Amino acid sequence: MTHPLVADESAADFFRKDREYWSKGLIPPASPSWAGSIDYTAMNQPKSKVAKMVADEARLRLGEKYVDSALKLAKLESGYRCHVLGPKTRHGRAVGPLQVLPSSARALGVYNMQGNCKAQITAGILHMEKCIKSNGGSMTHRQLSACHVAGWGGWNKKLNRTAERYKQQYIKMAAVQKIPGWAGTLSAW
């Protein structure tokens, strides 16, 4: 069995499996029960196109410095897929390449995320922008990862035991992400 940190799956998949199966000593099924009937055709963009959209939006809103972090987080969260739906939480289900909760997107001024990959990416990048501003305008990849998973209000605070463990595991997973070769050279985009 491949170690979860090096498996090619999204963070949403990893933590859902941990909560629903591994922590109970069970083996997860091949197809997630929460996936339901998602219309994949509307959101079936090639991964390279999604990566380019993430890079372009990050470059536009955050600057070149944060493009790699945005690409690494999108790889971790969704594997550069638009149709990813996160596990059900008390806050709802995160969606899209950067796994943003619809309530967080609305707070950032993005309302049309359902089936709209561009809007999902914009919401994720706006979330990153809010994180960066919450830290005085600059963040390391590690800080940005913590803020992405814990939110701009809790990324630099000690959370309750379970949430803190989740945050620290997420930071470790984000630290080992590599931008795939097929994503191309950023300067060529």
Handedness of CA 70, 76, 82, 87 (dihedral sign): negative
Predicted local distance difference test score (pLDDT) of residue 83 = 81
∠ Cα 13 14 16 (to 5°): 65
Q: What is the mean pLDDT of the chain?
A: 79
> Rounded to two decimals, what is the model's pTM?
0.74
Bridge partners (DSSP) of residue 95 are 85, 100
The CA–CA distances, whole Å, from 84 to 20, 61, 105, 134 equal 18, 23, 16, 27
Q: N- to C-terminal Cα distance for the chain?
A: 37
pLDDT per residue as tens digits for the range 96-114? 999 999 988 999 999 888 8
pLDDT per residue as tens digits for the range 1-22? 444 443 456 666 677 677 777 7
111: left (phi over 0), alpha (psi -120 to 50) or beta: alpha
3-state secondary structure at position 106: helix
Does residue 187 register a pLDDT over 50?
Answer: no
Bridge partners (DSSP) of residue 85 are 95
**Separation of alpha carbons 93 and 90, rounded Å:** 9
Handedness of CA 157, 160, 165, 169 (dihedral sign): negative
User: Per-residue pLDDT averaged across 25-44, rounded?
Assistant: 53
